Amino acid sequence: MEKLIEVSDSVVCIDFVLGTKCRTTIRLRSITATDTTAFKIQTSSPHKFLVNPPSGLIAPLAQSIIQIILKPQPQIPDSFPRSTSDRFLIRTGRVDSVDTESTQLDNFRSWTHDIILKVVFVGPFLLRHAVNNGDCDAVKSMVKYQKTILTELSTREAESLLRVATSLDNSVDMVSLLLEAGLKVESATRSLDDVEESKWMDKGWTELHVAAAFDRTDEIKRLVKIGTRGTLDCKDKEGRSPLFLAASKGYEKCVKVLASAGANVDAKRNDGCTALYRAAGKGDSRMVKVLVELGADPSIVVDQRDRSAIDLARDEGHKEIVEILERGEEVLNASRRGDIMLLESLLEKDASVDFKDQYGLTAIHIAAIKGYKDVVMLLVEFGSSLECVDAEGRTPLHMAVIGGCKDTVEVLINRGANANVKCNRGATPLQVAQTMGHETITQFLLLNEAIS
């Protein structure tokens, strides 16, 4: 159908107050430059809403302001901010210019385009109701539909709302949500600190746990830099590390920062659950991919049914996650066979180059030890790290030296691999070459400033 008008808002946004008549307006703008447009507005809830005017004509490229009135309501909406039962239907049609003056819209039948507007209930009254009930989801939704709802509160209203939030069982989540969404009061920092301190003690959280739980990437970087009480893998009362906590909330940047600082991506909760296992069970495909690329082991058996992350994903029907994990295995197998055509096909479909087996070996480790220099070059081209390490701290260059393939060693050195990197036992690639009697590789490494 031909579109004849544009509506100022995609929803009818009502600032709700109990027992009070509530008004809002929408604007209809003609987008046709030739004909007059007829409109008619109907509501699914005529016992609740009045529309003024309910119908009319809009001249070419002109606009009409429509007032929506909600009659005084004796109770809070059954669902908010989105109403599940209220909506408006706007019908439009062209009117020939010669008939404009005589057109009777009650008898008009040439409606050609319909627009449906849903209703959302917002405003300070419902905001306080949601905060009283500890309903973080409702608060988030109201902020989404009415972005200034918190910033427009008076100082007295803001402080009152904060006091309510700090008394909740989920006070840390609610207070943080309100402050991050724009609530500004002088006592906010002190109130949040008081609430958080008591909650942290109950949960057994460290400063790093708190930063991870609230997606504070910069704070994590600061704590890592200055050193924190305990280690990166310190655990709360449930056995959750900061990385586990960040992953469970979907905070990808926090997870990456913690992992790059040395946090164990396979750290287990008290029940044996890993971050990857939990993400797979939740169906969080983005976090699964992040954790796989950071080296999380999908083969770790977790629960009493001897299931790994991939087993759980299959059981829960999370096909995308199964595909991510299975493609990682396929990348390893293609590298193991030197099947460059299959490998390239997998990588072009966004399969991970950093997938690891139970020994920490990635595809480039495997290709390097087997001397598949073309496979190594392809993996580097698709972003494989030259400095990734296996469980023994060996890089792809270590593996290429062990495999005795000088051409692969050259490829890695020429692309920037560190010739003097040490594995967990302290051996450099040159020392490995000398120990194994690979003379040509030894000479090549010496020419490239390798030291023993």
Cα(217)–Cα(201) distance, rounded to whole angstroms?
Answer: 22
pLDDT tens, residue order, the chain (452 aa): 578 999 988 899 999 999 999 999 999 999 988 889 999 999 999 999 999 999 999 999 999 999 999 999 999 999 999 999 999 999 999 887 545 454 466 667 678 889 999 999 999 999 999 999 999 999 999 998 998 898 888 888 888 888 888 878 777 788 878 877 888 766 545 555 555 555 666 678 888 888 888 788 988 998 888 775 457 899 988 999 999 999 998 899 999 999 989 899 999 999 999 999 999 998 898 999 899 878 787 778 887 778 888 888 888 888 888 878 877 888 888 999 999 998 888 888 777 788 888 788 899 999 999 999 999 999 999 988 899 898 899 999 999 999 999 999 999 999 999 989 999 999 999 999 999 999 999 999 888 876 66
Domain boundaries 265-352, corresponding CATH code? 1.25.40.20
* pLDDT of amino acid 349: 74
User: What pTM was computed for the model?
Assistant: 0.47
Q: Report the DSSP beta bridge partners of residue 15.
A: 122
Task: Domain 5-121: state its class.
Answer: mainly beta
**Helix residue spans in 232-389 (DSSP H):** 242-248, 252-260, 275-282, 285-293, 309-316, 319-337, 340-348, 363-370, 373-381
Superfamily (CATH) of domain 206-260:
Ankyrin repeat-containing domain (1.25.40.20)
The tokens describing 36, both together, are 């007059």
- Decide if 206-260 and 265-352 have a common fold: yes
* pLDDT of amino acid 426: 92
The CATH T-level fold of domain 360-447 is: 1.25.40
CB distance 249 to 240 below 8 Å: no
Rg of the Cα trace of the chain?
A: 31
Sorted by where each begins, the domain ranges of the chain are: 5-121, 123-203, 206-260, 265-352, 360-447
CB distance 341 to 381 below 8 Å: no
Burial class (CB in 10 A: 0-12, 13-18, 19+), 171: buried
For the chain, give percent helix, strand, coil, nearest 5.
Answer: 45, 15, 40
- The number of beta carbons lying within 10 Å of the beta carbon of residue 160 is 15
